[in-house]
Amino acid sequence: MLESENRKRLLPAEEILATIGIKEGDTLIDFGCGIGYFSIPAAKLVGEQGKVIAIDISDEMISELEKRSEGFRNLDIVKSDDISGFKGDIILLVTVLHEVDNAKKFIERCFDALNPQGRIIIIDWQKKETTMGPPISHRISKDEVIAMAHSKCIEHNIDDTFYFLEFRKITI
Protein backbone atom coordinates (compact mmCIF):
# COMPACT_ATOMS: atom_id res chain seq x y z
CA MET A 1 0.00 0.00 0.00
CA LEU A 2 2.90 2.37 0.72
CA GLU A 3 3.96 2.07 -2.93
CA SER A 4 0.61 1.45 -4.56
CA GLU A 5 -0.25 2.95 -7.91
CA ASN A 6 -2.98 4.95 -6.20
CA ARG A 7 -0.45 6.51 -3.80
CA LYS A 8 1.89 7.29 -6.68
CA ARG A 9 -0.98 9.02 -8.46
CA LEU A 10 -2.16 10.99 -5.40
CA LEU A 11 1.28 11.75 -3.94
CA PRO A 12 3.82 11.71 -6.80
CA ALA A 13 7.11 11.91 -4.87
CA GLU A 14 9.32 13.37 -7.59
CA GLU A 15 6.72 15.98 -8.54
CA ILE A 16 6.20 17.02 -4.91
CA LEU A 17 9.94 17.22 -4.27
CA ALA A 18 10.32 19.37 -7.41
CA THR A 19 7.56 21.70 -6.16
CA ILE A 20 9.36 22.00 -2.82
CA GLY A 21 12.51 23.00 -4.69
CA ILE A 22 15.01 20.73 -3.00
CA LYS A 23 18.51 21.46 -4.23
CA GLU A 24 21.99 20.00 -3.96
CA GLY A 25 23.50 20.55 -0.55
CA ASP A 26 20.18 20.77 1.32
CA THR A 27 19.54 18.83 4.51
CA LEU A 28 16.04 17.39 4.46
CA ILE A 29 14.41 15.73 7.46
CA ASP A 30 11.73 13.25 6.40
CA PHE A 31 9.85 12.72 9.65
CA GLY A 32 7.64 9.64 9.52
CA CYS A 33 9.63 8.45 6.53
CA GLY A 34 8.12 4.97 6.37
CA ILE A 35 9.77 2.87 3.66
CA GLY A 36 11.54 5.89 2.15
CA TYR A 37 8.92 6.84 -0.44
CA PHE A 38 10.20 10.44 -0.26
CA SER A 39 13.59 9.88 1.43
CA ILE A 40 15.22 7.93 -1.39
CA PRO A 41 14.28 10.30 -4.23
CA ALA A 42 15.23 13.25 -1.97
CA ALA A 43 18.66 11.69 -1.32
CA LYS A 44 19.24 11.73 -5.08
CA LEU A 45 18.30 15.41 -5.27
CA VAL A 46 20.41 16.69 -2.36
CA GLY A 47 23.50 14.99 -3.78
CA GLU A 48 26.72 14.08 -2.05
CA GLN A 49 26.99 17.48 -0.35
CA GLY A 50 23.49 17.22 1.10
CA LYS A 51 21.84 14.89 3.53
CA VAL A 52 18.48 13.26 4.16
CA ILE A 53 17.63 12.36 7.73
CA ALA A 54 14.87 9.75 7.60
CA ILE A 55 13.09 9.35 10.94
CA ASP A 56 10.43 6.79 11.82
CA ILE A 57 9.28 5.01 14.96
CA SER A 58 8.45 1.67 13.31
CA ASP A 59 11.08 -1.08 13.35
CA GLU A 60 9.41 -2.60 10.30
CA MET A 61 9.59 0.64 8.30
CA ILE A 62 13.19 1.31 9.35
CA SER A 63 14.21 -2.22 8.36
CA GLU A 64 12.57 -1.89 4.93
CA LEU A 65 14.15 1.51 4.34
CA GLU A 66 17.58 0.15 5.27
CA LYS A 67 17.16 -2.55 2.59
CA ARG A 68 15.98 -0.07 -0.04
CA SER A 69 18.64 2.55 0.65
CA GLU A 70 21.83 0.53 0.35
CA GLY A 71 24.47 2.63 -1.34
CA PHE A 72 23.11 6.01 -0.23
CA ARG A 73 25.82 7.52 1.95
CA ASN A 74 23.86 10.77 2.31
CA LEU A 75 20.86 9.08 3.95
CA ASP A 76 20.83 8.78 7.75
CA ILE A 77 18.12 6.47 9.08
CA VAL A 78 16.98 7.09 12.64
CA LYS A 79 14.44 5.26 14.79
CA SER A 80 12.74 7.91 16.90
CA ASP A 81 9.49 9.71 17.61
CA ASP A 82 11.23 13.00 18.37
CA ILE A 83 12.66 15.66 16.05
CA SER A 84 14.61 17.39 18.83
CA GLY A 85 18.35 17.39 18.31
CA PHE A 86 18.17 17.47 14.51
CA LYS A 87 18.69 20.46 12.19
CA GLY A 88 17.54 20.76 8.60
CA ASP A 89 16.78 23.13 5.76
CA ILE A 90 13.50 21.36 4.99
CA ILE A 91 11.31 19.26 7.25
CA LEU A 92 8.91 17.04 5.35
CA LEU A 93 5.78 15.78 7.14
CA VAL A 94 3.65 13.66 4.83
CA THR A 95 0.50 12.17 6.41
CA VAL A 96 2.21 12.39 9.80
CA LEU A 97 0.83 15.40 11.64
CA HIS A 98 -2.50 13.73 12.41
CA GLU A 99 -0.50 10.92 14.11
CA VAL A 100 1.43 13.00 16.67
CA ASP A 101 0.11 13.49 20.22
CA ASN A 102 0.29 17.28 20.38
CA ALA A 103 0.43 18.74 16.87
CA LYS A 104 0.92 22.36 18.03
CA LYS A 105 3.89 21.47 20.23
CA PHE A 106 5.31 19.23 17.50
CA ILE A 107 5.14 22.05 14.92
CA GLU A 108 6.95 24.32 17.40
CA ARG A 109 9.71 21.68 17.75
CA CYS A 110 9.91 21.48 13.95
CA PHE A 111 10.50 25.23 13.72
CA ASP A 112 13.24 24.85 16.37
CA ALA A 113 14.83 22.13 14.20
CA LEU A 114 14.99 24.37 11.12
CA ASN A 115 18.08 26.17 9.97
CA PRO A 116 17.59 29.92 9.35
CA GLN A 117 15.25 30.45 6.38
CA GLY A 118 14.30 26.75 6.55
CA ARG A 119 10.90 25.41 5.57
CA ILE A 120 8.36 22.96 6.94
CA ILE A 121 6.31 21.09 4.35
CA ILE A 122 3.07 19.54 5.61
CA ILE A 123 0.99 17.25 3.43
CA ASP A 124 -1.90 15.66 5.25
CA TRP A 125 -5.46 14.45 4.89
CA GLN A 126 -8.22 16.97 4.31
CA LYS A 127 -10.69 16.98 7.19
CA LYS A 128 -13.52 15.52 5.13
CA GLU A 129 -14.85 12.14 4.13
CA THR A 130 -12.58 10.35 1.65
CA THR A 131 -12.42 6.80 0.35
CA MET A 132 -9.21 6.14 2.31
CA GLY A 133 -7.23 7.52 5.20
CA PRO A 134 -7.79 7.87 8.92
CA PRO A 135 -11.16 8.66 10.48
CA ILE A 136 -12.19 12.31 10.19
CA SER A 137 -11.94 12.65 13.98
CA HIS A 138 -8.16 11.97 13.74
CA ARG A 139 -7.53 14.50 10.99
CA ILE A 140 -6.37 18.07 11.51
CA SER A 141 -7.85 20.63 9.15
CA LYS A 142 -5.71 22.86 6.97
CA ASP A 143 -6.97 25.94 8.85
CA GLU A 144 -6.06 24.39 12.22
CA VAL A 145 -2.53 23.66 10.98
CA ILE A 146 -2.12 27.20 9.67
CA ALA A 147 -3.26 28.60 13.03
CA MET A 148 -0.85 26.31 14.93
CA ALA A 149 2.13 27.29 12.78
CA HIS A 150 1.91 31.06 13.44
CA SER A 151 3.83 31.60 10.20
CA LYS A 152 3.14 32.74 6.68
CA CYS A 153 1.79 29.85 4.64
CA ILE A 154 2.17 29.01 0.98
CA GLU A 155 -0.42 26.55 -0.25
CA HIS A 156 0.44 24.26 -3.15
CA ASN A 157 -2.00 22.42 -5.40
CA ILE A 158 -2.43 18.71 -4.85
CA ASP A 159 -5.22 16.16 -5.10
CA ASP A 160 -8.32 17.22 -3.10
CA THR A 161 -7.75 14.31 -0.70
CA PHE A 162 -4.80 16.17 0.86
CA TYR A 163 -3.60 19.67 1.61
CA PHE A 164 -0.02 20.74 0.85
CA LEU A 165 1.31 23.59 2.98
CA GLU A 166 4.71 25.25 3.18
CA PHE A 167 5.86 27.34 6.15
CA ARG A 168 9.10 29.32 6.24
CA LYS A 169 11.11 29.98 9.36
CA ILE A 170 11.49 33.70 9.72
CA THR A 171 14.49 34.78 11.76
CA ILE A 172 14.69 38.28 13.13
pLDDT in tens, 102-111: 999 999 999 9
Least confident of 50-54, 69-73, 88-92: 69-73
Q: Considering Cα of 45, then 18, then 4, then 93, what sign does the dihedral take?
A: positive
Please work out, in degrees rounded to the nearest 5, the angle formed at the alpha carbon of residue 149 by the alpha carbons of 6 and 49: 65
Full-model pTM: 0.93
Cα–Cα distance measured from residue 42 to residue 46, given in angstroms and rounded to the nearest whole number: 6
Question: What integer pLDDT is reported at residue 70 of this predicted model?
Answer: 86
Provide, for the chain, the percentages of residues in helix, strand and coil under a 3-state DSSP scheme, each rounded to the nearest 5: 35, 25, 40
Q: Please state, rounded to an integer, the average pLDDT across all residues of the chain.
A: 92
CATH topology of domain 5-168: Rossmann fold (3.40.50)
Domain spans of the chain, in order of start: 5-168
Residue 78 identity:
V
Question: Is pLDDT at 4 greater than 80 in this prediction?
Answer: no
